[in-house]
Structure 1
Amino acid sequence: MTEPTPKLVSETSPLIGTSQNAPAESHITAGQHPEEEITIPENVWYIVASLWTSSFLSAADTTIVSTTANTIASAMNGSDKITWIATSYLLTNAIFQPLVGKISDVYGRRTTLLCAQFWFIIGCFFCAISRTVTDFAIARALAGIGGGGMSALSSIIVTDVIPLRLRGMFQGYANLVYGTGQFLGPVIGSIFITWSEKSGWRWMFGIQVPLVLCTSFLVFKNVHEFRFNGEELMKNRFKRGNIRRIDLPGSFLLACFIVSILTLFSATSKLQVHLSLVGAFFSLLAFFLVEKFIVEEHIIPPAAFRGILRVAALVALFGTMAVYSLNFIIPLYIQIVHDFSSLQVGIFNAFGVFASALGSMIAGWCLKEKKHTRADVVVKKAVNVSIASCLALCAGTFVCMFIMRTLKPTLFRKDINYLKIAFLVFGFTLESVGYGSFLVSLLILVVGEVGISHQATVTGMNYMFRSMGSVSGVGISLGVYNMILYKELYHYFIVKGKANGKEILSKLFNNSFYIRSGLPSIYVHKVLKIYRTSLGDSSTMVFMMGCTALILSLLMRLYKVGPRRHTSIA
């Protein structure tokens, strides 16, 4: 009897389960298991261009809001609700991104991506016609459903067609495109706001609708199922029983927990604090019970949240908390405390955007390997790059915190201290380089750890922790800012009995531009110092988040990665 040919293993052989005796397909190297080798499709650049166009628009949409949130809130007399403008989009991102990987496994990559683009279009349309801050926040939440799916699926589909040894470079290219979108977002936003402060922001959302429709056409034409046995997987994808494979109860309860935490840090009374704590406790308890005893497949698969994968997820969580917090706090700081124009805020933000793209390219270059490199070698290198990235992130947040706490407020725009602002730019740039770098290194780490069969699940989980970090980081930092600001302004105007204190306090919370266009001059300097103190205290919280990410990244060195764990060959 002829002995069977020994089965070859590669970088993509999964550690969490292994399929046996699968037939070969045309896009797989002859004689090998379909997971052993990924042959890059001939039209790969058409595929990635279709995906990156969606990512570009999603990135531009994100930074448009981060630098114009204050203007939008003030235009609708809702500056006190700015936290929800910032977090509503991020919240639905956090809820739906972990589901995207599983949904695309069940219903197909292209179908899921087209659905995500549909929700993004709906959200942008309703943003353009919003009449109140509440309407706008709901519309942003709808857009977040689509935006999260567009980002995660872009990474998942590229991983389907690009081998691990080249994955870092392609992720670097993707982040460069994403960074360009983030750079152009504030520029486009400032152009529309400069054109019309009252209605310009409506047009900057409305114009995205036809643009995303064009990207949907590109996706429909170029993106298909590139997984092994994809046609067979798609035959019964719409069976009623497949819905049980998607953890909707767990996602809902996780969303309730995140909302409770956000409400806790934006609470203005003891009753709200108590209700938030109760809501957080019971939603977390219910989430544990549902995941333990009820659902068949989990939003966070236990096998994908162990060892180094767990630490990597927590690094992504706290690192993203720090970065997104700064992305919202610093624009507020330079706009309110130093009277930067919308255009100047956009230019400032551009340094961080391109620094993030540069960090991604550096990490991708560092992680690029030749053929026949073991996956454990790539994973080890990804750990080292992650540590260096978190060190840069932590150092950058410290510089930003120091400048924000010590630089005196600017009464007149002509008196801006650009030398010290340059140090703030340096810190923001350093932090962004670190962030862009660890985005790539952590993604390569988790894909190398579990293999191609489970990459959609772990990629979705990685994006989930990043989304949870973004929404909780922004919510906590802005919540701390609002809490301290309210306390200090209330003490200054109400407790000290200033003339027309209640009226002034109300106007300040409804429209921060009132400081320089209506507030009596005798109060301006003191109020600016209060804003500086509030934002500075919030930046201290950001620095603590960055330190936590650095400490966790060092813990990854405790996990030994060697050929016994990673026998796959790239």
Structure 2
Amino acid sequence: MSDAAPTHSLFAPREVRGIVLGLTLALFLSSLDQTIVATALSAIAGDLGGWELMPWVVSAYLISSTVTTPIYGRLSDLYGRRPVLLASVTIFVLGSALAALAPTMLALIAARVVQGLGGGGLRALALAVVGDILPPRERGKVQGYLSATFATANILGPVLGGLFVDALSWHWIFWVNLPLGAAAFGATWFQLRRLPLPGKTPKIDWLGAALILCACTPLLIGITFVQRERSWLAPEALLCFGLGLAFTVALVAQERVAAQPMLPLQLFANRIFTAAICMTGLASMVMMSLVVLVPLHYQTVAGLPAREAGLRMIAMTMGTVIGSFAAGQAVSRTGRYRALLLGGTAVATAMCLFVGWFGLGHSLAVDSVVTLALGLAFGCCFSPSTIIVQNALPPRDGGLGVSCMMFFRLMGGAFGVAFLSSLLLGALPAGASGAAAEPAFAMVFEAAAAIAALAMVASLMLKEIPLRGRE
């Protein structure tokens, strides 16, 4: 797609609604499979054995779906969204069938890798297609729907996983993807036929793609070692981080000379793109960490049972959904986004400090207000960020820009959970609970506030430029 040939005018409102429905389904599929397995792990391990390999059932999908995200974005810019998205759905459904039929834990982990290879494309391209069918000024509502879909999948995943295990078997958490995947394939096949293909034959930077995989995979595996060993200085983690750094240097060298680089370095010369990437990565560090730490705080410090701790997280999740919708509407109506990001990061900083200083679990009303405010803040951060990135880049780089944003968001979340969890475990006395654990949690929430403040600084660096319309 050239800079001068936007495709927004090709699609009537009725067609846009049909496309968005298909994209929502694709995004729901990829996001659901990141969380639906959590409540089924014990049943899977009890059936297949291999308890020591159980964490890799989750990590395999997370790693493969994350590292392929920027590659899918670039391929879709070069070959077109529709064929690459169809390939992603096919790979994801194939991986789901293999996972449902897996006879051993190792076979299941391998199938989860295949699933992730497809899931990375579903997640990246669902956002990129919106940039093809709507101008930036009109994308706010749709981005709100997609952000809400992502949050809803995170809520329903553990619930559906538990229901399938109790009522049927763990195999059904994968079988259910086949009809859903078929519906997503059909919607993509019919609804996106009118998307134009790139005009010239692309030259693929396969070495760059391989180096992206080689650079990112060790980093994510290193994070899993940090979480398992509870230390950033674990030898396995240091080895993985060293490999990741070495391949990153090689990746930068390759992309500087490639004719059509898989990851064009000039994108990072765009200050709006870079600031938006930094903001969303830092905000994701805080949000994903709080999803883990807040329930743990409820149980360890406040002494609440796991069921009640989970119920008290509903306010934050609903806040994220509402914030995403509201932010999307506001961007579409006003064409402005900077105030939303500043407000969201400022509220997140303030609420993290509040939790660090006063704690949670004392009052249901206070907990609901604080966690709802956190959810609203994150919704205001994430929903506009996709629009900002696409508006700042030429249409030919739209898919890559969005996939890079999603990649850094996922990497930020993974590093945030590892960093703040290891900080907590390093400061928490063995077996401590109640008042004895409170200082350790206070320190962690204050660290989260510092990260949110850095996200606010990145928001300040964002220059607000007019959003492109159909003209």
Q: How does the TM-score come out when normalised to structure 2?
A: 0.82
**Secondary structure, counterpart of 1:320 in structure 2:** helix
1:220 maps to which residue?
189
Match of 1:410 in 2: none
Aligned to 2:158: 186
Aligned Cα root-mean-square deviation (Å): 3.9
CA distance in 1, matches of 2:421, 2:51: 12
Name which of 207, 212, 223 aligns with 2:176: 207
Unaligned runs of 5+ in 1: 1-13, 20-32, 371-377, 408-416, 490-526
Rate the CA distance shift 1:323–1:225 in 2: closer, same or farther, 3 A.
farther
Kindly report which structure 2 residues correspond to 1:357-396, keeping only aligned pairs within 5 A, or say none.
357-369=321-333, 378=335, 381-396=336-351
In structure 2, what is the Cα distance between the partners aligned to 1:321 and 1:192? 31
Rate the CA distance shift 1:351–1:568 in 2: closer, same or farther, 3 A: closer
State whether structure 2 residue 396 is matched by structure 1 residue 432.
no
CA distance in 2, matches of 1:400, 1:128: 42
Question: Aligned in 2, Cα 1:188/1:555: closer, same or farther, shift over 3 Å?
Answer: closer
Question: Matches of 2:255 and 2:424 in 1, distance apart?
Answer: 35
Higher Rg? 1
Note closer, same or farther for the CA distance 1:545–1:136 as it changes in structure 2 (3 Å cut): farther
Alignment of 1:340 onto 2:309: no
Change (3 A) 1:384 1:107: same
Residues 267-286 of structure 1 aligned to structure 2 (within 5 Å)? 267=229, 271-272=235-236, 274-286=238-250
Residues 557 and 476 of structure 1: is their aligned pair in 2 closer, same or farther, counting only changes over 3 Å?
closer
Deviations 1:411-469 (A, max 9, x none): xxxxxx6x545544443332222222211221222222224332222112111111211
Residues 273 and 156 (structure 1), Cα distance of their counterparts in 2 relative to 1, 3 Å cut:
closer
Query: For 2:297 and 2:45, how far apart are their aligned partners in 1?
Result: 16
- Once residues 529 and 295 of structure 1 are traced to their aligned partners in structure 2, the CA distance between those partners, rounded to angstroms, is 58
What CA distance in whole angstroms lies between the structure 2 residues aligned with 1:470 and 1:274?
A: 19
Give the SS at the match of 2:337. helix
TM alignment of 1:489-568, pairs within 5 A:
489=430, 527=431, 529=433, 533=437, 537=440, 540-541=443-444, 544-558=447-461, 560-561=463-464
- Distance between the aligned counterparts of 1:59 and 1:536, measured in 2? 34
Structure 2 CA distance, aligned partners of 1:420 and 1:353? 19
Q: Secondary structure at the match of 2:305?
A: coil
Deviation at residue 245 of structure 1 after TM alignment: 8.8
The letter of the residue matching 1:256 is P
The code of the aligned residue for 1:204 comes to I
Letter in 1 for 2:305: D
Give the letter for the 2:204 counterpart: N
**What pairs with 1:443-458 in structure 2 (closer than 5 Å)?**
443-458=386-401
Percent identity reads 20
Which residue number in structure 2 is paired with residue 260 of structure 1? 222
Map of 1:156 onto structure 2:
128
Contact 1:250 1:291 in 2 (8 A): no
The Cα shift of 1:528 comes to 6.6
Distance across 1 between alignment mates of 2:104 and 2:370: 36
The separation in 2 between residues aligned to 1:122 and 1:194, in whole angstroms, is 25
Cα separation, 1, equivalents of 2:298 and 2:253 = 45
Per the TM alignment, residue 273 of structure 1 is displaced from its structure 2 partner at its CA by 5.2
Cα pair distance change 1:115/1:311, threshold 3 Å: same
The alpha carbon displacement at 1:386 in A equals: 0.9
Contact 2:64 2:113 in 1 (8 A): yes
1:358 CA displacement: 0.7
The counterpart of 1:463, out of the listed 403, 406, 423, is 406
Contact 2:420 2:444 in 1 (8 A): yes
The Cα shift of 1:47 comes to: 1.3
Residues 1:83 and 1:157: Cα distance change in structure 2 (over 3 Å): same
1:355 aligns to 2:319 (yes or no): yes
Take 1:328 and 1:86, find their aligned partners in 2: how far apart are those partners?
Answer: 15
- 1:44 has 2:16 as partner: yes
Structure 1 residue 360 displacement after superposition: 0.9
Distance 1:291 1:243, change over 3 A: closer
| Whole-angstrom distance in 2 between the partners of 1:537 and 1:71 | 33
Q: Do the aligned residues in 2 keep the contact of 1:90 with 1:470 (CA within 8 Å)?
A: no
In 2 relative to 1, CA 138–351 (structure 1 residues): closer, same or farther, beyond 3 Å?
farther
What displacement does 1:36 show?
A: 9.1
Aligned residue for 1:517? none
The residue that corresponds to 2:415 in the other structure is 472
Contact 2:208/2:261, CA 8 A, preserved across alignment: yes
1:100 aligns with 2:72: yes
Closer, same or farther: CA 149–231 of 1 in aligned 2, 3 Å? closer
Question: Aligned partners of 1:318 and 1:208: how far apart in 2?
Answer: 32
Q: CA deviation digits over 1:204-261, x for unaligned, max 9?
A: 233223322222122212223524xx3745xx46xxx435496332332233334335
SS in 2 for 1:216: helix
Q: CA offset at residue 388 of structure 1? A: 0.9
Letter in structure 1 aligned against 2:433? K
Kept in 2, the 8 Å contact 1:390–1:546? The answer is no
Task: Give yes or no for contact 1:477–1:538 (8 Å, CA) kept in 2.
Answer: no
Partner of 1:503: none
CA distance in 1, matches of 2:435, 2:37: 21
Whole-angstrom CA distance in 1 between matches of 2:161 and 2:17? 30
- How far does residue 127 in structure 1 lie from its aligned partner after superposition? 4.1
Kindly indicate whether the alpha-carbon contact (under 8 Å) linking 1:152 and 1:459 is maintained by their aligned counterparts in 2: yes
Contact 2:72 / 2:121 at 8 angstroms: preserved in 1? Answer: yes
Q: Is the 8 A contact 1:254 1:287 kept in 2?
A: no
> CA 1:204–1:78 in 2, change beyond 3 Å: closer, same or farther?
same
Count of aligned residue pairs for this structure pair: 466
TM-score (norm 1): 0.70
The 1:189/1:555 distance shift into structure 2, 3 A limit, reads closer
Aligned-pair distance for 1:161? 0.8
